[in-house]
Structure 1
Amino acid sequence: MKTAFDKARNGLEVKGRFAYGAVPETIADSWRRCVRLGLDPVGKPEECVVSHTDLYQRRDQQDRVMRLVRPELELLSAQIAGSNFLVAFADSDGVVLDQILDEEFRTSTCGKSILPGSIWSEEIRGTNALGLALHTGASCSVTGREHFFAKEGTVSCLSAPIFDSSGQLIGLLDASSEVTARQYHTLALVNLAAQNVENRLFVEDHRGEHIIQFHPRQEYLKTQNVGMIAFNEDGQITGANRRTGELLTGLNLANAIKFQDVFMGQFRPLIEQICRGEIVQITDWLRSGYFARLRLTHSARTKLTNTQVLLPTDPIYRVPMAAGDIGTGRVFEDEALRQNLRLGRKSAQQGLPVLIVGAPGTGKNTTAEEIHDQLHPDQAFVLVECETLNLDAVEGQLIAQMKSKADATSRKQDTIDLNKGGTLYLDRVDLLPIEIAPSLNTLLNRVIQRRNPLLADGEWIIISSAQNSASLNDAIGPLRTIYDRLSGFSLYLPKLVNRSDFRHLCCAMLTAISPQHTLSNKGTDALKMMTSDHNLTDLNRNLRTLAIHHHEGIIRQEGVNRILGQRQLGISACTRCVGQMIKEVRCIEIRKALRDCNGNVALAARQLGVSRNTVYTHVMD
């Protein structure tokens, strides 16, 4: 038996008319707009995609927002992961700028339509969640046959708008899936992700001002579901987030200029109390009560006590940033490694220390630098080599003092300013001498002071590395205290031989070493066989050896075996000659000569008085 909605849908497709009351109001309004535009519900929707140049310019304009959106997309994809899903970000014109989707959805009809640069405004794509949220300015869901075009009737999509601190719609988050049952749960996640982005944008736009967080329930002050109002030094309102309007229902914030226009009491006594870190109670003019606290930012004008922190000088240094794009030459294409890196970055952003665990040469230092570069590349990257740390170095200390702005000009260049924030990286913390633990604990007392759910200027990321985590779990005494403070998120690095992006890694390294050389697929396989028991340093050395001894162009399997294989030659014959005594002796002689000539076949052939083909036959196993 047909439902009222089925009848309305059939009327839309056959006659272009439908019973308005049989369809949800927002969907019915959208269908009417689409009919007026002359769209055909049983026709094929128009596939509109902006040019590559236009897409690049849009992404560049939205760079600040996209840096905040991308972690939310990654978190959403992990939360709703399953068959047939997509999460995306679109700008205020409905143009998709970024997306994450699984392979099953990618090959579906809708998946082939939702591409970077595709336009999903209602005027072009009919009723869909992105276009509807763009038109209404509110989060919405469009399920199955609620889509205007019948061809999109198998997909459920949800979308939530993102507003900046001035109330302008600047983008939309979208989640699409062919699994209808999960839509209500997913809509809550999409709304929360949009709220997170809005709050972070608000904080960035009002750094240096007093941002007051408030909520009727005190326990909610630590969540993203809080109202935030920004005030200048005189108590004038400079901005409010969207949640503020929802909490202060009945008050006209558009006409509010000062603190006293919204809340009872005086601004100055309140701000002095709240700047001391206290949670206070405030009341609006409708006599609704709220708990409030200060949202600390880098430039919040609170008084800080000058405290000396002792840092050992010799094993600590700041890594200079390379010119050009950050992350150049780093490869994280392996799926497991990329996922671990995403979670590590997310953890560091939220204030959790990150422990990088990996065998020697798996890229612990590179991974730490990548997390630093992705979160705050302009800040200091302070490397502490725990293996070489000693008591003498601690006693020969570097004093990093939290100085006032007046002292900033007199600060030495090599002094680490804790006020400016950065990344503290404790390399091989599992080798930390026990006598150093108290001094290092003093340092952690100063830098582990995360006050915000979002990494802000002036705050520190704490990263450490270890060869294995078992030794950390077995530690006792002061070392156990240090390890407990550094516990947070453990990022495990795969062995080089297990990385699925080995070819990408080789190509990136070789391009940095010698752009004139490339490596064939079989050459990569041969190199992987020779590098299976080695690390990234050995891989780099092997590639440099290949670049030195191989003529410019493609390095093939033969070249890898000839140049690198000769180092292992000398006592064993090739597989063709094994078991035949006379041939083995001659083969070993040829292979020794090739080794002594550093893999130069022509030179070895001349010294032995044989043809190059003869030498080749004993090189290739």
Structure 2
Amino acid sequence: MVERHHVEEIAEVLEGRASGRDSYVDASWRRCVELYGMDPTRSDPAHIVTETEFRIHRDQADWMIGAARSSLQGLFRQVTGQNYVLLLTDAKGVCVDFYGDDLLVDELRKAGLYLGSNWSEDLAGTCGVGACIVTGEPVTVHQDDHFGNAHTGLSCTSAPIYDSLGQLAAVLDISLLRSPAPKSSQNLAMSLVTAAARRVEMANLMAASRREWVLRFSTSPEFLDVDPEAAVSLDGAGRVIGATRAATRMLSGGKSLIGARIDTLLGLSVDDLPDLMRDRPTEDRVVALGDGGAVFGHAIAPQAPRRAPGQPIAPALRVRGGVLATLAGGDPAMARLLSQAERLAPTPVPLMLCGESGTGKTKLARAVHMASRRGGFVALDCAGADVEDLGAALSGQTGPGTLLLRRVEDLAPETARVLAGLLDAHPDMRPIATTGRVASELMAQGTLPPMLYHRLAGAVLALPPLRERQDLGWLIDRLLRRRDGGEMRLTPSARAELMARDWPGNLRALGNTLDVACALAETKVIDLPDLPAAPRSPAPEQDLEAVLDACNWNMARAARRLGVNRSTVLRRIRREGLRAPD
């Protein structure tokens, strides 16, 4: 009877009559039928992405998960014992982080309130996450507000999380399997989730702005230094380069603040910022608003001195944030590469990504595509691909998109000759080619025709092998966090062993090693016996100085990575005239 009434109510909305519910619910019901072609009589289960898809979504959301973790943990502590579950989804609606009662996991998984569930509106129908993504505003979708009959027992309250450039980055959702009938019973949940989303935005802006001035605001002096309401980050000239959503609304009524001078928004200039630092009483730090009102301000100085005119920017400081920043943890070579990728991403310049197998070329290509904000993404494995495969990959593509050509050196000669013409016929499709060879050899050795090579290698980015990276420890911790719920730990001896290996398989080998270790460990602590034997490959004449830098000039560790004796390393150092940095 309840199901029949629900279907009849949706039919009335489709005929133009208001349901008496929130307007975003009526609008969503209409989209579900008229745009997505959904049937309100069906009872479809929750949509769960595949493990491979989940890993991709989780990898791309890694920076956001880190920024949100503290706020989500605090929120979950507030609602512990009330049967709430917290979901953090990416901007596409896929749940990438989860906090819930372990005793309810099976029931939550069945309801889709779990990792990997996709709550985008076009798949799940009217729901909290989906409506939040569409409207960009906090919403509560309560019980039979949901379009699908499978979800009418749930109550879901969702709030958007915006990045510092004003783009929707995530959704924070707090849900119940069962709740009181009145929708007003979720008013407290709305207050909690919007406050938590605001804190996530603040944490993200602070993390991305350590080298810039940050100005935080609060309408109350008591909360200014501990829980401010809004914030902006500023460059040396006082222009806004980042803002939380609350700051955008407070200072410009919702219009983008990026590029605006702070003295056109507030009654102060960049030179006044030191007067708003924490050494002054909170109640004295008053900032005039453009509408005649006032707030209290707290200025935070850059954590490192600004560079002098003409002084080069330190490589590690160049990648500001977003998905590209999640690919490295402080390695100078990767920082330089990601800085170049960040600047190239919004351009139409074709890219060629070089590097040994397993160095992360495909992951970098996807990150560049996301940073470019282009539409469609098409991937093609060049080994065995023919002209028909190329045509199929490009057919139906409209608007700016990205074509990923994996292992372009494996293209058959006939296919390679045709590809250049197809790319010219699809000027909106930006090619990103990956290769395990040195880029210049592809043309010099006749692997690719010159016309195609120049069409693909507008810019060449070479990823360093893992044995030369100085952020190996960071990568180990990052990959370990994604295994077994993030609870696994390494003993010092196991960590030292992993740091000393030469990793011929690069990131893929590291991930496989951690998978095996997690499976073999009898507790949540991985020890030396749990590690699989180190794979060995024929030792090429590697770049000794790069390996030494990656090992902080620890001779024993460098020798293990190179698969040689310590005396061999010392002889090569003397022969090549290398010296440790000061």
The TM-score with structure 2 as length reference comes to 0.50
- CA shift in 2, pair 1:263/1:93, >3 Å: same
Determine the C-alpha separation between the residues in 2 that align with 1:231 and 1:108.
Answer: 47
Q: Root-mean-square deviation (CA), in Å? A: 4.4
Report the secondary structure of 1:505's partner residue: coil
Separation in structure 2 between the aligned mates of residue 118 and residue 95 of structure 1, nearest angstrom: 6
Instruction: Report the counterpart of residue 599 of structure 1 in structure 2.
Output: none
SS of alignment partner, residue 159 of structure 1? strand
CA distance in 2, matches of 1:256, 1:328: 36
CA distance in 1, matches of 2:234, 2:524: 53
Among 230, 243, 247, the alignment partner of 2:233 is: 230
Give secondary structure in 1 for the equivalent of 2:157: strand
Are the aligned partners of 1:13 and 1:42 in contact in 2 as well (CA < 8 Å)?
no
Report 1:550-561 matches (<5 A): none
Q: In terms of mean alpha carbon deviation, does 204-213 or 99-108 score higher?
A: 99-108
- Matching of residues 307-386 of structure 1 within 5 Å: 325-326=476-477
The structural deviation recorded for 1:133 is 0.5
How far residue 17 of structure 1 moved from its aligned partner, in angstroms, is 4.9
2:279 alignment counterpart: 277
Judged with a 3 Å threshold, the aligned counterparts in structure 2 of structure 1 residues 287 and 86 are, in CA distance, closer, same or farther, namely same
Q: 1:217 & 1:333 partners in 2: Cα distance?
A: 43
The 1:94/1:328 distance shift into structure 2, 3 A limit, reads closer
1:50-449 to 2 correspondence within 5 Å? 50-82=49-81, 84-103=83-102, 105-108=104-107, 111-181=110-180, 183-248=186-251, 254=257, 257-268=260-271, 270-275=272-277, 277-278=279-280, 279=282, 280-296=285-301, 298-299=303-304, 325-326=476-477
Structure 2: distance between partners of 1:128 and 1:203: 31
Tell me if the contact between 2:84 and 2:174 (Cα under 8 Å) persists in the aligned partners.
yes
Contact kept? 1:129, 1:142, Cα under 8 Å: yes
Unaligned runs of 5+ in 1: 303-319, 342-362, 371-376, 378-501, 517-621
Contact 2:71 2:196 in 1 (8 A): yes
Distance 1:511 1:324, change over 3 A: farther
> For residues 107 and 8 of structure 1, what CA distance do their matches in structure 2 show?
27
Structure 2 Cα separation of the partners of residues 35 and 202 of structure 1: 39
The structure-2 alpha-carbon separation of the partners of 1:236 and 1:41, relative to structure 1 and needing over 3 Å to count, comes to same
Q: 1:334 to 1:291 in 2, by over 3 A?
A: closer
SS of the counterpart of 1:20? Answer: coil
CA distance in 1, matches of 2:525, 2:234: 52
Question: What SS class does the counterpart of residue 196 from structure 2 fall into?
Answer: helix
Aligned AA (1:213) = R
Give, in angstroms, the shift of residue 138 of structure 1. 0.9
Q: Which residue of 1 aligns with 2:386?
A: none
- Indicate if the aligned counterparts of 1:105 and 1:111 stay in contact, CA closer than 8 A: no
Shift of 1:507: 8.2
State the one-letter code of the partner of 2:218. Answer: H
Matched, 1:25 2:23: yes
* Distance apart, 1:170 and its partner CA: 1.0
Q: CA deviation at 1:260?
A: 1.8
Paired residue type of 2:529: T
Q: How many residues align?
A: 340
- Distance apart, 1:245 and its partner CA: 2.5
Q: Do the aligned partners of 2:12 and 2:18 also contact (CA within 8 Å) in 1?
A: no
The amino acid across from 1:35 in the alignment is V
CA shift, 1:228, in A, is: 1.2
Three-state SS of the structure 2 residue aligned to 1:292 is: strand
Classify 1:174/1:7 alpha carbon distance in 2 versus 1 (closer, same or farther; 3 Å): same
CA deviations over 1:431-470 (Å, ceiling 9, x no partner):
xxxxxxxxxxxxxxxxxxxxxxxxxxxxxxxxxxxxxxxx
- Letter of the 2:530 partner, please give it: A
Alignment match, 2:529? 511
Q: Any conservation in 2 of the 1:277–1:294 contact (CA below 8 Å)?
A: no
Q: Of the two, which has the highest radius of gyration?
A: 1
Change (3 A) 1:72 1:33: same
Structure 2: distance between partners of 1:287 and 1:242: 21
The whole-number CA distance in structure 1 between the counterparts of 2:258 and 2:13 is 49
How far apart are the structure 2 equivalents of 1:109 and 1:286? 47
One-letter amino acid of the counterpart of residue 207, structure 1: R
Question: What is the identity, as a one-letter code, of the residue corresponding to 1:511?
Answer: P
Which residue identity is paired with 2:300?
R
The one-character-per-residue Cα deviations of 1:135-181 (angstroms, maximum 9, x if unpaired) are: 11111111111111122111111111111000011111112113424
Gaps of 5+ in 2: 308-470, 500-519, 535-582
Q: What letter is aligned with 2:297?
A: A
1:333/1:504 contact within 8 Å kept: no
The alpha carbon displacement at 1:107 in A equals 3.0
The 1:22–1:96 alpha-carbon spacing in structure 2 relative to 1, beyond 3 Å, is same
Question: How far did 1:183 drift?
Answer: 2.4
Cα pair 1:94 1:131 within 8 Å, conserved: yes
Relative to structure 1, is the Cα distance of residues 265 and 95 closer, same or farther in structure 2, using a 3 angstrom cutoff?
Answer: closer
> 1:322, 1:33 → 2: CA distance?
48
Distance of 1:102 and 1:505 partners within structure 2: 22
TM-score (norm 1): 0.47
Is the Cα contact below 8 Å between 1:162 and 1:172 reproduced in 2? Answer: yes
Residue 137 of structure 1 contacts residue 169 of structure 1 at CA under 8 Å; is this kept in 2? yes
Instruction: Between 15-24 and 39-48, report the one with greater CA deviation.
Output: 15-24
Q: Deviations over 1:509-543 (max 9, x none)?
A: 47338989xxxxxxxxxxxxxxxxxxxxxxxxxxx
Please give the alpha-carbon distance, in whole angstroms, between the structure 1 residues aligned to 2:210 and 2:474: 28
